[in-house]
Amino acid sequence: MNTIERTAAVTLRNVSRTYGDPANPIHALRDVSVDINRREFTAVMGPSGSGKSTLMNVMAGLDEASAGQIWLGANPIVGLGDTARTILRRTMIGFVFQSFNLVPTLTADENIRLPFILAGHRPTAEQESWITHLVTSLGLRDRLGHLPSELSGGQQQRVAIVRALAGRPTIILADEPTGALDTRTSREVLTLLTTAAREYGQGIAMVTHDPVAASYADRILVLADGAIVGEYRGLDPRQISDLLITLQGATA
């Protein structure tokens, strides 16, 4: 199976993740098979504890699947050593976490450039103009010299988003990226993620509880109790909240 050409940004086949005592296991993911496609913005939704963060962590190779296979692009990650996995992650994935994860001693500009420094090369001219576009459209031009502690939560999140998008990674994994943002900035961030998928062919997976944020996605995956229980397209925010309310009722 490893030799089959894979066009998805991330492929999961029969992936399970079990925690805790084998006699009394917690099944965070149960036999999940899904593709996160390139050129597509996928929202991941589901009740608290349904496995959304676990799904993101195993896709990123930050957590080990207990069973199953995972590919980043064409590269299998199950069984890879730590170093190889770190290199793959660095070159193929951009992360946006709710907690920003900026380096406190680096300025906004240095944080944005950190992935390039870690990868050992400077941004190309094309990447420089993409960074300038991102910085300008997220209103960060006059904040680049500031440390994270000198920025508001929303500004810190925008810096993290520019950092994730800057190198045009194959996949962007975002966990509640708009959780700390005001409505206008949220809209800008979601529009940027949409652009990243449509125009730059990146695969986006975004965990969110927010029906408005999810309505920007092309596809919504719904998790319940560690399994994918639904896949939807073309829903508006109202339809998404109705869906979640129905699911909460079914799993309560």
Ligand X SMILES: Nc1ncnc2c1ncn2[C@@H]1O[C@H](COP(=O)(O)OP(=O)(O)OP(=O)(O)O)[C@@H](O)[C@H]1O
Residue with smaller CB distance to ligand X, 52 or 143: 52
- Which lies closer to ligand X via its Cβ, residue 153 or residue 179? 179
Comparing CB distances to ligand X, the nearer of 61 and 148 is 61
Q: How far is the CB of 53 from ligand X (least distance, A)?
A: 3
Number of residues that make up the chain: 252
| DSSP per-residue string spanning 218-240 | SEEEEEETTEEEEEEES--HHHH
Q: How far is the CB of 219 from ligand X (least distance, A)?
A: 18
Segment holding 163, helix H or strand E: helix 153-166
C-beta closer to ligand X: residue 134 or 223? 223
Min dist CB 113 to ligand X, Å, is 30
- Both tokens of 106, joined, read 């680096």
Q: Which one, 25 or 79, has the nearer CB to ligand X?
A: 25
Beta carbons of 27 and 75 less than 8 angstroms apart:
no
Measure CA 251 to chain center.
25
Min dist CB 199 to ligand X, Å, is: 29
Minimum Å gap between C-beta 213 and ligand X is: 14
C-alpha 148/C-alpha 162 separation (Å) is 14
Interaction site with ligand X (CB under 6 A): 19-20, 26, 28, 46, 48-54
Helices H / strands E in the chain, number of each: 8, 10
